[in-house]
A = this chain, B = another copy of it.
Amino acid sequence: MLDAHLVVDRGTFRLDLPLTIRPGEVVALLGPNGAGKTTALRALAGLIPLTGGHLSLAGRHLDDPGRRIWTPTEQRAIGVVFQDYLLFPHLTALDNVAFGPRRQGLSRHRARQRAATWLARVGLAEHTHCKPRHLSGGQAQRVALARALAVEPALLLLDEPLAALDARTRLDTRAQLQHHLAGHSGATLLVTHDPIDAVVLADRLVIIEDGHVVQEGDVATVTAQPRTDYVARLVGLNLYRGHADGHHVRLTDGFQLVTGDRHVGGVFVAFAPSAVALHPRRPDGSPRNTWPATITGIQRHGDNLRVQLDGPITVAADITPAAAAHLKLTPGQTLWAAVKAAETRVYPAAAPLNVRAEP
């Protein structure tokens, strides 16, 4: 298992990330651009040294600056898929994949056999003898995936492994990856931007912003109770922070929401975009929360339209195309937004870990 506390200073940026992954567990590391995901991955791989904390894998201490312990990359039982592939340009796809097995002592023949198997698994049996520059972006990405998997590592590190794959191959490769990870006794860290990847592949999510963990937990908890704006957007919820007093929550900017649950103290309030109803005039029905809002953007979202709204609170609303046609939505238009108290979710803001407040 992986047991680490990664501390890396890079100029003005500081990564400070406690991380444990049990054998067989898949942890997805999510975060906005520049949050430090790649930095964490490189520190685990031994490509940058820790400046603090410690790192041990399968009971071995790999990096511990305090105790002057350091293991070079090539002696760590890892496999890495890099964000920009880094396929060796002078080797064929086959030899790229066979490179790792060769280093593990397999004969050239056996290593090539294993490589061919892996290439076939990622759907590239026909491109075995292509040089990387003759591969398209997605083909290259799949070779990189095969190359990292072929060493059967104790810790598998994936930096956006599916980002460049097309929708179809992505589905297949994701299923393959899921299959492989299921049969994989080691730990896996998956860096991704794609919530679907995270939800499908990971057992647990770790979300970092600006080098620090802002939320952590199993998929269900994180998606149900986002704690930062980033996570809320990731899972598609509107999220606000405020102070609860019974059924009323006063948000940090003064606006007040009525909620279904009772709470007291610092809380988060979340509701889905589909819970937001739009009306041309002030509604006087059941919804307890109504406010005037101005349309700032409209995008298709699946079968529906997602409308971005400004006002006392910024909010996203999902409505059907039929409703949109009825309301004759245009950007700049002002109308009324309504959310039923029963549609809101409220949960305490006192976080189990070092969470930094976000509006």
Residues of A within 8 A of B (CB): 11, 30-35, 37-38, 83-84, 134-139, 142, 159-160, 163-171, 174-175, 178-179, 193-196, 199-200, 229-230, 233-234, 297, 299-301, 308
Once the chains are docked, how many angstroms separate the CA of A359 from the CA of B11? 56
Given contacts A136-B38, A169-B32, A193-B170, contact A300 B200 (CB under 8 A): yes
Please pick, from B30, B135, B167, the residue contacting A194 in the complex, using a CB distance under 8 A.
Answer: B167
Give A137 to B31 CA distance when docked, in angstroms.
12
| Least Cβ–Cβ distance between A90 and chain B, in angstroms | 18
Asked whether B308 lies within 8 Å of A175 as measured between CB atoms, the reply is: yes
Q: Which of B11, B165, B167, B233 contacts A167 (CB 8 A)?
A: B233
Count identical subunits in the complex.
2
Contact A199 B300 (CB under 8 A): yes
Inter-chain contacts of A168 with B (CB < 8 A): 32, 229-230, 233-234
- Contact across chains for B299 and A175 when beta carbons are under 8 A apart: yes
Q: Chain B nearest CB: distance from A321 CB in Å? A: 10
* Partner pick for A83 among B83, B137, B234, CB 8 A cutoff: B137
A171→B237 CA distance, assembly (Å): 13
**Closest 8 interchain pairs by CB?**
A33-B138, A34-B136, A166-B193, A168-B233, A167-B234, A32-B166, A83-B137, A200-B299
Chain B residues with Cβ below 8 Å from A193 are: 138, 164-167, 170
- State whether A136 touches B297 (Cβ < 8 A): no
Q: Taking the nearest CB of chain B, how far is it from the CB of A329, in angstroms? A: 15
A33 close to B169 (CB less than 8 A): yes
Contacts of A301 in B (CB 8 A): 196
Which single member of B139, B166, B233 contacts A171 (CB below 8 Å)?
B233
Q: What B residues does A234 contact at CB under 8 A?
A: 167-168
Q: How far is the CB of A277 from chain B (nearest CB, A)?
A: 20
> What is the bound-complex CA distance between A170 and B163, given in angstroms?
13
Contact A38 B137, CB 8 Å, known A84-B84, A200-B299: yes
List of B residues within 8 angstroms of A138 by Cβ: 32-34, 193
Partner of A137, one of B137, B160, B195: B160
CA A25 – CA B37 in complex, angstroms?
37
